[in-house]
Amino acid sequence: MFEARFIRTSGGTDTLVRFTTAISMVATAVFVRTFASNIIPQSLQCYLSDSLSALFTRFSSQITIAIDEFENRNPNRLFKAAETYLGTKASSSTRKLRASKQDDENAIEVSIDFGEEVIDVFLGFEFRWRLVSRESNTPSEARSFQLSFHKKNKELALSTYLPHVLDQAKAIKDKAKTKTLKLLED
């Protein structure tokens, strides 16, 4: 059967004791989480989660801008532009992508999938994009991009980077249309 032996490292600490302590802590955390999720109402869990998130955000040096797919039921051009732009920025480390094709277009459009993060470096500054989904009253999902960056770059993001994303998305679309026209001419 299983026999516990103490393994001494060169530092004289008991590895088995550390391992047992770590396993015990993980088991306790799982138990507390399961117990809390069964006892604490969902609304209170959401409130506590939001409160903790807000507390950590206060001390964070990051700012996050949410770019919703729709604004007052109207399509948000910035969302569509970000989707187009980020499709070209997906790196080899990006594991989940989405592909779509509109009836009126010949090109296949690639974009990032939910939860996937794309890091874009613009003028030497890092901008992190993540596509998220949240519950919605409509039959379709409410999608949005979360754009995160250092708070000292807020002005750069709003006045230069986001207009750059819009311009680049337009250039990508124009290039795809030009390719389509050339194919039709041949």
3-state secondary structure of 42: helix
Confidence at 161, pLDDT banded by 50, 70, 90: very high
Average pLDDT rounded to a whole number, residues 150-177: 92
Average pLDDT rounded to a whole number, residues 101-105: 70
Res 175: pLDDT: 83
* CA distances (Å), origin 70, targets 80, 130, 144: 10, 17, 9
Res 59: pLDDT: 76
**Annotated domain spans of the chain:** 15-58, 62-185
13 alpha carbon, distance to own chain's centre: 41
Q: Find the helix or strand (DSSP H, E) in which 117 lies.
A: strand 117-122
Res 43: pLDDT: 79
- pLDDT value at 87 more than 70: yes
Res 69: pLDDT: 92
Q: What is the pLDDT of residues 118-144, one digit of tens each?
A: 899 999 999 999 988 876 666 566 889
Do residues 155 and 148 touch, judged by C-beta distance below 8 A? no
Res 183: pLDDT: 56
Average pLDDT rounded to a whole number, residues 176-185: 63
Confidence at 115, pLDDT banded by 50, 70, 90: confident
pTM as predicted: 0.61
Bridge partners, 130 (sequence order): 117, 146
Do residues 110 and 97 touch, judged by C-beta distance below 8 A? yes
d(CA 31, CA 68): 37
- pLDDT value at 7 more than 60: no
Give the other-Cβ count within 10 Å of 1's Cβ.
2
Res 102: pLDDT: 72
Structure tokens at 81: 């532009």
Structure tokens at 85: 């732009």
